């Protein structure tokens, strides 16, 4: 399944890197721990990092009612751009001009909808928790009505979306083939380390297995 | 030295996490391999990942003349927001509501200036190369006049900037103190792995030491 490009998501530069493949878009969104959300505030662009979660064809974001981001888009008529980037490698070419990076990135454009239905809201909060900490929701102290009211959730349909991927070695000029300069890639590794227990953990409580063997989707 | 907050950089949410400390802002910019740049295109927000480099009090960005980002801000009158985020840990609280992340992020606002002077342009390209691959510039095939003309560079003063930091354990409610639930943090590790040589490297050329012992600033 592919998502047809809109004028905005049409990947203009280096078109061979662009794709509308749905499975790729979803895999990148699912693997990334954070996203960067762009919105327009008083005519100026603002980009904030935040946590997202995908549930089917919907991307959920959450925040505090006092936060600038959710206050700005409160009218329900504000477009946003959600960009997710996974950095995979530093590409080292013989020519400085051809240095690059391998990455997978996704952009999702749209006007988010406020989530007011408490059932959808709790499901979104569960999706966000499980996105970051798979297995944690059922093991946590459940959210209270007050906490649900104190959290704003918005939903963005993932239909105006595109992915970009670079996943090859250096692309030096043919004329530089014989230069005695090393070329290759340095893999960029992103991982989650061993759990560090907080003093607030009562004695006798063990580290849950889903945290001890933490693994990102695709990781 | 601190950068006085503008109305935009004034950190509104969780003010204790906000700071205008210059050394912190510079350290976060220097450690991060990529940034996310927000700009307004036809009234809509767009966020793209790219590489940056700091040189003193200036942030440099570069790209292709054909790219949407640099074409959009070509007039020199377009504001941008450059956001850099370093994710340090997943914070696991007893209550799902109190899960969080430890991070260091920086936002820089402003209207970038086109870099037209070839000397400043090459210095910016050197800064960008050295930002990602310290030690590489002197070891590379130098940039040609054609490559310099084929690269656009913009400069953004780092004066409307702020940092946000969260660097503590879970912050659960006092009422949840005795719940038999594990709480703590999972460190997020980002690293650069051992160099993988490309087939284009002539035989007998060794991996340079600055790549074999690659280390991010602050890493």
Residue B198 inside a domain? The answer is no
Domain assignment of residue A27, given as a range: 15-171+202-212
Conformation bin of residue B98: beta by default, left when phi > 0, alpha when psi is -120 to 50: alpha
Q: What is the pLDDT of residue B9?
A: 64
pLDDT in tens, chain B (219 residues): 556 566 666 654 444 456 889 999 999 999 999 999 999 998 899 999 999 999 999 999 998 877 777 777 766 669 999 999 999 999 999 999 999 999 999 999 999 999 999 999 999 999 999 999 999 999 999 999 999 999 999 999 999 999 999 999 999 999 999 999 999 999 998 889 999 999 999 999 999 999 999 988 865
Closest of A53, A59, A12 to residue A32, by C-alpha: A53
Pairing of strands A184-192, B160-166: unpaired
| Chain B CB contacts of A126 below 8 Å | 96
CB B17 within 8 A of CB B11: yes
**Cβ contacts (< 8 Å) between A172 and chain B: which residues?**
200
A44 touching B, CB under 8 A?
yes
Report DSSP state, residue A152: E
* Cβ within 8 Å of A, B 91-130: 92-97, 99, 101, 103, 105, 107, 109, 125-126, 129
Range 13-42 of A in CB contact (< 8 A) with B? 13, 33-34, 36-41
Question: Of A202, A159, A1, A174, which is closest to residue A93 (Cα–Cα)?
Answer: A174
All residues of chain A having their beta carbon less than 8 Å from the beta carbon of residue B202 are 178-180
Distance from C-alpha of A9 to C-alpha of B216, rounded to nearest angstrom: 33
ipTM: 0.92
Residue A130 lies in a domain: yes
Report residue B131: phi and psi, to 5°: -65, -45
B206 lies in a domain? no
Residue A209: the pLDDT is 96
Q: Whole-model pTM?
A: 0.92
Q: Where are the beta strands (DSSP E) in chain A?
A: 18-19, 35-41, 44-50, 52-55, 58-63, 80-92, 100-110, 113-114, 152-157, 160-166, 184-192, 196-197
| Residue A2 resides in a domain | no
Q: Which residues numbered 142-201 in B keep a CB inside 8 Å of some CB on A?
A: 142-144, 147, 151, 169-170, 172, 176-201
For residue B177, the chain A residue with the least C-alpha distance is: A200
Residues of chain B contacting residue A94, judged by C-beta atoms under 8 Å apart = 140-141, 200
Q: In chain B, how many domains are there? A: 1
The partner residue sitting opposite A79, judged by closest CB among B45, B66, B184, is: B45
Does B196 map to a domain?
no
Nearest alpha-carbon partner for A80 in A125, A20, A35, A116: A35
Question: Could you read off the pLDDT tens digit of each residue along chain A, which spans 219 residues?
Answer: 556 566 666 654 444 456 889 999 999 999 999 999 999 998 899 999 999 999 999 999 998 877 777 777 766 669 999 999 999 999 999 999 999 999 999 999 999 999 999 999 999 999 999 999 999 999 999 999 999 999 999 999 999 999 999 999 999 999 999 999 999 999 998 889 999 999 999 999 999 999 999 988 865
The gap from C-alpha A28 to its chain's centroid, in whole angstroms, comes to 7
Q: What is the pLDDT of residue B14?
A: 45
Residue B155 in any domain: the answer is yes
> Is residue A8 in a domain?
no
**CB-CB contact of A96 with A172 (8 Å):** no
Give pLDDT, residue B173.
Answer: 97
Cβ of A68 within 8 Å of Cβ of B125? The answer is no
Whether residue B205 is contained in a domain is answered as no
Q: Residue B75: how many CB atoms within 10 A of its CB?
A: 9
In chain A the first and final C-alpha atoms are separated, in Å, by 23
Instruction: Report the pLDDT value the prediction gives residue A15, as an integer from 0 to 100.
Output: 44
The CATH number assigned to the domain holding B54 equals 2.30.110.10
User: What pLDDT does residue A14 have?
Assistant: 45
Q: How many CB atoms lie within 10 A of CB A115?
A: 22
């Amino acid at each position: 399944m592919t998502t047809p490009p809109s004028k905005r998501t049409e990947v203009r530069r280096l078109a061979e890197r662009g794709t509308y493949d749905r499975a790729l878009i979803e895999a990148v969104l699912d693997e990334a721990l954070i996203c960067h959300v762009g919105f327009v505030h008083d005519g100026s662009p603002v980009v904030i990092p935040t946590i997202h979660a995908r549930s089917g064809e919907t991307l959920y974001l959450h925040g505090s009612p006092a936060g600038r981001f959710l206050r700005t888009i409160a009218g329900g008529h504000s477009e946003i751009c959600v960009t997710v980037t996974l950095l995979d490698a530093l590409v080292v070419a013989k020519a400085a001009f051809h240095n690059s990076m391998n990455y997978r990135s996704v952009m999702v454009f749209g006007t988010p909808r406020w989530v007011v239905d408490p059932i959808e809201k709790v499901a979104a909060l569960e999706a966000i928790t499980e996105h970051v900490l798979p297995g944690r929701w059922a093991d946590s102290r459940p959210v209270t009505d007050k906490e649900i009211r104190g959290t704003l959730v918005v939903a963005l349909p993932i239909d105006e979306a595109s992915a970009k991927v670079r996943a090859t070695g250096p692309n030096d000029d043919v004329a530089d083939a014989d230069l005695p300069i090393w070329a290759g890639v340095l893999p960029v590794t992103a991982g989650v380390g061993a759990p560090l227990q907080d003093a607030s953990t009562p004695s006798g409580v063990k580290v849950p297995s889903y945290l001890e063997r933490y693994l990102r989707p695709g990781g």
